[in-house]
Amino acid sequence: MERKIIAVCGPTAVGKTEYAIEIALHAGGEIVSCDSMQLYKYMNIGSAKPTPEEQAKVKHYLVDQIDPAMPFSAARYQKLAKAAIEEIFSSGKTPVICGGTGLYLNSLLYDMDFAAEPDHEGTREAIYKEYDKYGSEHIYKKLMAIDPEAASRIHPHNVKKVVRALEAAEEGDRVKDFARDLKPTKDYAAVLIGLTRDRAELYDRINQRVDKLIEAGLVDEVKGLMDMGLTEYDISMKGIGYKEVIAYLQNECSLAETVELIKKNTRHFAKRQMTWFRRYKDMKWFCISDYADDRSCQEDIFKWMEKK
């Protein structure tokens, strides 16, 4: 029998968690998270983790597993996720990959060798300090001067990627463009399901989610993480929702301004996610907004899956 994984992809707040659970229940599967924030311990609110009730329905891997004070990379994600996939296969079930972190998904769909990936913590910290002092435009211009090819494929406001590219360039390396010349893995076949909604509906869901995160205690969660010793320099604290609240706690903006900034940054992030996922030629897209309810959309997905 052919080994297949199912990947449920799409922008933040589209409904991936709920749909992945239903797909896993239908296919006899277990879920491997493909989310760069949900894997961290203690970061429950801002990462919008699956609830305990949702995790009770279907077993989830790589959720609430990594100490946020520890460095984490796509290379480590690939290792942990592939181990989880093999564990699921060995139990006779189907791995269902769920999340919106494109590079993590690539690491499972393609043969990507991270063995030579640079990890220069000192350089990275110095670049972040430069960013904090002079801003994103400054470090992006620096990247353009050092490695214009990398700069051409990275959004100027994607600070995390700009820093990583600068780090690699300053150490004499070059960041690989993983969007080109990728060979599909032979470890398993992949069924790719893309979820989307009308833009107005998606943005409304994003805005509502942010309001709910604030009501649920996001500010207190960030305070607690900072009390544990985490700072704006930790990779885990650079996620949307966390970095903006840190600025608020440092009296750089009001709470109202913070909430609006989180909403805006999340909307921009959703747009970038869609740009990434649309590059997958084998992705089958389902616009949830076109259906009367979730169940109708899910039934269509199930029918399509039966043909794969």
Q: What is the 3-state secondary structure (H, E, C) of the chain?
A: CCCEEEEEECCCCCCHHHHHHHHHHHHCEEEEECCCCCCECCCCCCCCCCCHHHHHHCCEECCCCECCCCCCCHHHHHHHHHHHHHHHHHCCCEEEEECCCHHHHHHHHECCCCCCCCCCHHHHHHHHHHHHHHCHHHHHHHHHHHCHHHHHCCCCCCHHHHHHHHHHHHCCCCCCCCCCCCCECCCCEEEEEEEECCHHHHHHHHHHHHHHHHHHCHHHHHHHHHHCCCCCCCHHHHCCCHHHHHHHHCCCCCHHHHHHHHHHHHHHHHHHHHHHHCCCCCCEEEEHHHCCCHHHHHHHHHHHHHCC
Residue 194, pLDDT above cutoff 60: yes
Instruction: Identify the band that residue 180 occupies on the pLDDT scale cut at 50, 70 and 90.
Output: low
Give the percent of the chain with pLDDT over 70.
93
- Cβ–Cβ < 8 Å for 273, 80: no
Q: Return the higher-pLDDT residue of 269 and 1.
A: 269
Question: Which residue ranges make up each domain of the chain?
Answer: 4-112+179-306, 121-170
User: Which is it for the CA torsion 195, 198, 203, 206, positive or negative?
Assistant: negative
Angle formed at CA 128 by CA 178 and CA 272, multiple of 5 degrees? 40
Given the candidates 3.10.20.740, 3.40.640.10, 2.40.30.270, 3.40.50.300, the CATH classification of the domain at 4-112+179-306 is 3.40.50.300
The per-residue pLDDT for 167 is 82
The per-residue pLDDT for 143 is 87
Angle formed at CA 87 by CA 82 and CA 91, multiple of 5 degrees? 145
- Cβ–Cβ < 8 Å for 118, 53: no
Residue 279, pLDDT above cutoff 70: yes
- What is the rounded distance in angstroms from the CA atom of residue 199 to the CA atom of residue 176? 32
CATH topology of 4-112+179-306 equal to that of 121-170? no
pTM: 0.81
Kindly report which listed range (126-130, 180-184, 198-202) carries the lowest average pLDDT score: 180-184
CB-based contacts of 286: which residues, under 8 Å, 6+ apart? Answer: 193, 194, 195, 196, 297, 300, 301
Mean pLDDT across 101-122 = 78
Instruction: Identify the band that residue 233 occupies on the pLDDT scale cut at 50, 70 and 90.
Output: confident
Residue 82, pLDDT above cutoff 60: yes
- Cβ–Cβ < 8 Å for 71, 125: no
- Cβ–Cβ < 8 Å for 100, 16: yes
Residue 174, pLDDT above cutoff 50: no
The per-residue pLDDT for 18 is 98
Given the candidates 1.10.20.140, 3.90.226.10, 3.60.20.10, 3.40.50.2000, the CATH classification of the domain at 121-170 is 1.10.20.140
**Terminal CA-CA length for the chain:** 13
Residue 61, pLDDT above cutoff 50: yes
Instruction: Identify the band that residue 175 occupies on the pLDDT scale cut at 50, 70 and 90.
Output: very low
Residue 125, pLDDT above cutoff 90: no
Summary mean pLDDT of the chain: 91
φ, ψ at 40 (rounded to 5°): -85, 140
Tens of pLDDT along 26-58? 999 999 999 999 999 999 999 999 999 999 999
Q: Return the higher-pLDDT residue of 153 and 296.
A: 296
Residue 164, pLDDT above cutoff 90: no
Residue 178, pLDDT above cutoff 60: no
Mean pLDDT across 132-161 = 86
Cα of 107 vs its chain's centroid, Å: 13
Instruction: Identify the band that residue 119 occupies on the pLDDT scale cut at 50, 70 and 90.
Output: low
- Cβ–Cβ < 8 Å for 106, 36: no
Instruction: Identify the band that residue 171 occupies on the pLDDT scale cut at 50, 70 and 90.
Output: low
The per-residue pLDDT for 96 is 98
